[in-house]
Every structure is written in structure tokens, then in C-alpha cells.
Amino acid sequence: GENVEQHPSTLSVQEGDSAVIKCTYSDSASNYFPWYKQELGKGPQLIIDIRSNVGEKKDQRIAVTLNKTAKHFSLHITETQPEDSAVYFCAAPPSGSRLTFGEGTQLTVNP
């Protein structure tokens, strides 16, 4: 089945700095890569996703890049703010099956 590895497990940045979280996947047939944000005590919420026909997608301060050759994709958050503090999960669907999630990254933005 699909194996999704996410790094780092924890990330601490100063407000205004950038944060980058990286995920690698194993199934070359995967073609949809979402990122979820989970705030304390809440369910995960989709923040951005990318499909395999594009290499990068941007939405204000958030961007995702995809390298299909290397089988990795990354979440980039610029000009981080304290409200960005949360756990972030990447996911990838193995062929013909449900989403497999990474282990999560606890992002802390220090004011």
C-alpha cells in the first residue's frame, strides 16, 4: 500500500518567517495531494491541494509544490502568524484506495 512520510514532526519558527513541511510518497500512480490543518480540539481542515498535472499551486501565503519524479511534495507558508500554529497533515491516495495521511507536523509560530 501507499507509504507517506512527513518531515519534520515538529517545527518552530518566529513570526514572519517561512515554514516548509515535506512529504514523500511511494505509489507513482498517486495524482492528488492535499494538505490539512488541524487546530487543537478540532477536525482536520483542507487548506490546499495539488493535482499531478501541475508543479505548484499558491493561495495567498500558502503554496504547495510537487516533484513527481522524486515523489515528494511540500507545503510552504510565508510570513507566518501565530494563528498558523497547528498540526499539518499531508496525504496521498494509493491507486484505487483511500487517502493515506502522513504522521503530522506540529508547527509553532512564536510571536
Partner 1 sequence: GAGVSQSPSNKVTEKGKDVELRCDPISGHTALYWYRQRLGQGLEFLIYFQGNSAPDKSGLPSDRFSAERTGESVSTLTIQRTQQEDSAVYLCASSLTWGFGNTIYFGEGSWLTVV
Cβ burial, residue 91 (10 Å; 0-12/13-18/19+): buried
Q: Is 66 in the site for partner 1 (CB under 8 A)?
A: no
Q: Which cell numbers hold the place of 70?
A: 522524486
CB of 86 vs partner 1, minimal distance in Å: 13
Build a one-symbol-per-residue string for 11-50: x at contacts with partner 1 by CB under 8 A, - elsewhere. --------------------xx-x-x----xxxxxx--x-
Q: Which distant-in-sequence residues (6+ apart) come within 8 Å of 6 by Cβ?
A: 21, 22, 23, 89, 90, 102, 103, 104, 105
Among 28, 67, 103, 110, binds partner 1 (CB under 8 A): 103
Among 35, 86, 93, 109, binds partner 1 (CB under 8 A): 93
